Copies of this chain bind each other. A is one copy, B any other.
Amino acid sequence: MTKHTESYPLTLKKTVINDSFWSEYQKLIRDVVLPYQKDALNDNIPGAEPSHAIKNFKIAAGLEIGEFQGWVFQDSDVAKWLEAVAYSLSQTPDSELERSADEVIDIIEKAQQRDGYLDTYFIIKEPEKRWTNLEECHELYCAGHMIEAGVAYFSATGKRKLLDVVCRLADCIDSVFGPEPGKMKGYCGHQEIELALVKLYRITGNERYLSLSRYFIDERGKEPYYFSLEREKRDILEFWPGFSKFKREYMQTHLPVREQKTAEGHAVRTVYMYSAIADIVAETGDEGLLDACRNVWDNIVKRKMYITGGIGSAAFGEGFTFDYDLPNDTVYAESCASVGLVMLAHRMLKIEAKGEYGDVMERALYNNILSGMALDGKSFFYVNPLEVLPEACEKNPAMEHVKPVRQKWFSCSCCPPNIARLLMSLSQYIYTVGKNSIYTHLYIGGKAEFDLDGTSVILTQETNYPWDGNVRLKATGFGEKEFTLALRIPAWCRNYKLRVNGKILETGVDILKGYAKISRIWNDEDTVELSMDMPAVLIQANPEVRADAGKVAITRGPLVYCLEEIDNGSNLSAISIPLDCSLEIEKDNSFLNGAVTIRTTAIRTDDKYWPDELYRPAVNTEKETIIKAVPYSMWCNRRPGEMTVWIRYR
């Protein structure tokens, strides 16, 4: 086993975010989202669908009497909340929050069975049916999320209780599954355990966890087909009515993983699985798995990704469809899938620092993921459409899954805690540190402490990103040291300047795979300034994307913009813009948390002279109009209405 990793992230405790854009979001999650989600998990939100999740653990622990309620994977919502709490605590101590988490962990520990098994559905409802329906019942998926929580909580607080619980759980799973004779040859219908086991391996050093993860990956999609064998043994064909309609692609079991070349099926499962595979590659240097990662990555980002970083374009199966099929209105683009895409991008970045991984990470983060949460932290999108007509969501069944306003909570509420845990661990995604090099992947203000061959270097970042493209990095805490500082130059950036200690850098910088690498002897208090021009730009989609033909999107820096009815009147489809229009930038601190907005002169179909008819010979009846675009992530924070990202051009 040879490690295949160019650089590593810092631990959360080594980084602090202090950023005009992101600190607000993190504060919101700490102050609003985590307490809100705690209430939701405890069924204390009036008007929201009850979760039952904590109650299930209490029943499994023998602390309450009752029946299991909620989805079969309900446990995972508790785990994701605990994980987000852990990330929050690692940056901002909060004894009350920690006490709440400890109480939940106590209940979880009590719910765990003597042999380490832990899944409240099967403990309460069908104890004799453990591991009999891996295809549909999410046992290993829930275990994976609990393992991630255990690792995060230990890292944050040093408390071992949940880590011990999940080690026992992992040991229990390891005793049941594996290549050894007498063990089951299965794997989970919904991948998640695989990446969790690598995390557990990394924190415990126990190689059995890594081996088990690798086993699950390698077993997947082999013949004889495990899920067929499993089905033959069951008395009930389908746990989920209609589940057998899904093809093998839905669970990425259509081929052994090493033979998969394209992204197929359920989008979240896909990116969770490839995140685990990238982790295994990093640990083992497995070239066959790396090829699979690269092929699937390419297929996603070159064929199957919305401009917002959303993935998975079909509601049925929550999944990928086919190359260039990116409808804007019947879209799925689940928030969780973009969270998984960020996870995958980040892991690929560690294997190899290539700008495109950072670009996609940024695209998903600033657009599809942030759109998933309201600016007040109290409501969420599961599906992230690029075009919305509220009446269609209500009255055309093809858009039934698209909600025109964020929801308080969901009976299947995977997305809100997923967004919370990502944003609370965001500082992990900013930098990685390699052999005498520091890589800056994201432009987010704050402080980070690096260990470069035993020298401690503190890097302070100041920026107003994404509202402008100016970034200032200061290195302190050391005397003098030669190392490389690499800064990602985003693909959106056409012009930039680099200054070291105020002087424009003419030599001594290599542009390599999307990174500007400055290698020199650095002195304490040295500064680097990166000034990226950030004009508003019209973007078009590949002509093969039929849904976007004849249309452009307004973007600026990493942000995709959209038109909302509240700013532009109803019927946004009547608007078109000249390709050579002048896009003016405006900033009003009192508007949408100080968002930069974009204004331009456009053309609107003048329907004043339309008779009350559906069809007539074509004539040009147009008038000038001013349109205003707002960041996509912030849509629907004022009043519900029509929204569109793609605008016709003339």
Contacts and interface: CB of A to CB of B under 8 A. Distances in A.
A643 interface: no
A315 interface: yes
A204 interface: no
Contacts of A321: 392, 395-397
A539 B617 contact: yes
Interface in A309-342: 313-317, 321-322, 325, 327, 330
A619 B617 CA distance: 30
- The listed residue with most B CB atoms (<10 A of its CB), out of A395, A619, A648, is A395
Given A392-B325, A573-B549, A616 B539 contact: yes
Nearest to A642: B546
A392 B313 CA distance: 12
A50 to B, nearest CB: 23
Interface in A557-606: 571, 573-574, 576, 579, 605
Interface string A383-418: 000000101100111101000000000000000000
A543 interface: yes
A223 to B, nearest CB: 24
Contacts of A538: 617-618
Contacts of A458: none
A537 interface: yes
Contact of A392 (B322, B391, B540, B542): B322
Contact of A544 (B539, B546, B579, B607): B607
State the number of copies, please.
2
A545 B617 contact: no
B617 A396 contact: no
A236 interface: no
Given A550-B550, A576-B550, A620-B579, A614 B545 contact: yes
Given A544-B571, A620-B579, A648-B549, A615 B539 contact: yes
Nearest to A264: B395
Contact of A615 (B540, B579, B610): B540
B605 A549 contact: yes
Interface in A276-307: 301-303, 305, 307
A235 interface: no
B612 A330 contact: no
Interface string A149-180: 00000000000000000000000000000000
- The listed residue with most B CB atoms (<10 A of its CB), out of A391, A605, A614, is A614
A395 B264 CA distance: 11
Given A316-B398, A397-B317, A398-B315, A579 B618 contact: yes
A327 B396 CA distance: 10
Nearest to A396: B321
Contacts of A380: none
A425 B47 CA distance: 58
A550 to B, nearest CB: 5
- The listed residue with most B CB atoms (<10 A of its CB), out of A579, A612, A617, A619, is A617
Contacts of A649: 618
Nearest to A577: B618
Given A398-B398, A574-B549, A610 B322 contact: no
A612 B316 CA distance: 28
Nearest to A576: B550
A264 to B, nearest CB: 10
Contacts of A397: 314-317, 321
B618 A307 contact: no
Contacts of A322: 391-392, 395-396
A542 B396 contact: no
Given A315-B397, A322-B391, A648-B549, A614 B307 contact: yes
Contact of A398 (B327, B543, B571): B327
Contacts of A616: 539-540
A610 B553 CA distance: 17
A650 B313 CA distance: 29
Nearest to A549: B573
11 contacts: A303-B614, A307-B615, A314-B398, A321-B395, A322-B392, A322-B395, A325-B392, A537-B617, A542-B610, A549-B574, A553-B615
Interface of A: 301-303, 305, 307, 313-317, 321-322, 325, 327, 330, 389, 391-392, 395-398, 400, 537-546, 549-550, 552-553, 571, 573-574, 576, 579, 605, 607, 610, 612-620, 648-650
Closest 3 CB pairs of A and B: A316-B397, A549-B573, A546-B573
Given A322-B396, A549-B648, 7 more contacts: A302-B614, A303-B614, A315-B397, A322-B392, A539-B615, A542-B615, A549-B605
